[in-house]
Amino acid sequence: MTKQKVGLVLFWIAVIWAILWGVIGSVFVGSAFRNLTMDELNLTMWAYQGPWNMIWGLLGVPLAAIVAIIGILLYSGAKGSTVWKFGIGIIFLGIIIAMAVGFLGHIPLLFGIGGTLILLFFIGILWLWAKERKDLKDASATAADLKLVGYVFMLIAAWFICGIASQPFLKALEGEATTTPILVMIFLVLGWLFLFLGHRKSLKQ
């Protein structure tokens, strides 16, 4: 089997794996968390600190994303060293970050620094995008414009995510109802949609 075929197989395995755990999460895990108390939940297979919950949270979509990246890199003809560098690098970085957060807990300063960096990276993307856009024409220019809209929606989503994620740690909001994440989901969907359309337009040129 060629490297491209292996990559394609890995990619589709990752896609099926992600969809499978996504459906399980939406239908079973989500329902359990919505309708059961913590004591009742911990009597089910989806116990909060139980193995199946950990598998769903860590080895579901996150693992599928890493395998999909490795597969699509192989399929695209990337060098083996590049494939393993990205795959192992992402896994290693993810483990280190998870361990660090688990050990340190919530640090408001780091949360603020992260939000500031996201904004600075967005401004940097806009600046680089403008330089790249000057040399593009027709379909390439349209593709770049679609991606730009996607970046904007992603930033807006990040803004509202920061608000919702920080709410449990704000003393002034203790006892207040948590804001619904539906708005965030809408902006995330729009962001990914326009990025997808931009890449699709680039391919059609």
pLDDT digits (tens, 9 = 90+) for 135-186: 878 888 899 999 999 999 999 999 988 888 887 777 776 777 677 788 899 9
pLDDT digits (tens, 9 = 90+) for 65-96: 888 888 888 888 877 777 777 777 887 777 78
- pLDDT at residue 198 greater than cutoff 80: yes
pLDDT digits (tens, 9 = 90+) for 6-25: 888 989 999 999 888 888 87
- DSSP structure string for the chain: --HHHHHHHHHHHHHHHHHHHHHHIIIIIHHHHHHS-HHHHTTSTT-TTSHHHHHHHHSSHHHHHHHHHHHHHHHTT--HHHHHHHHHHHHHHHHHHHHHHHHH---HHHHHHHHHHHHHHHHHHHHHHHHHHTT--HHHHHHHHHHHHHHHHHHHHHHHHHHHHHGGG-GGGTTSPPPPTHHHHHHHHHHHHHHHHHHHHHHH-
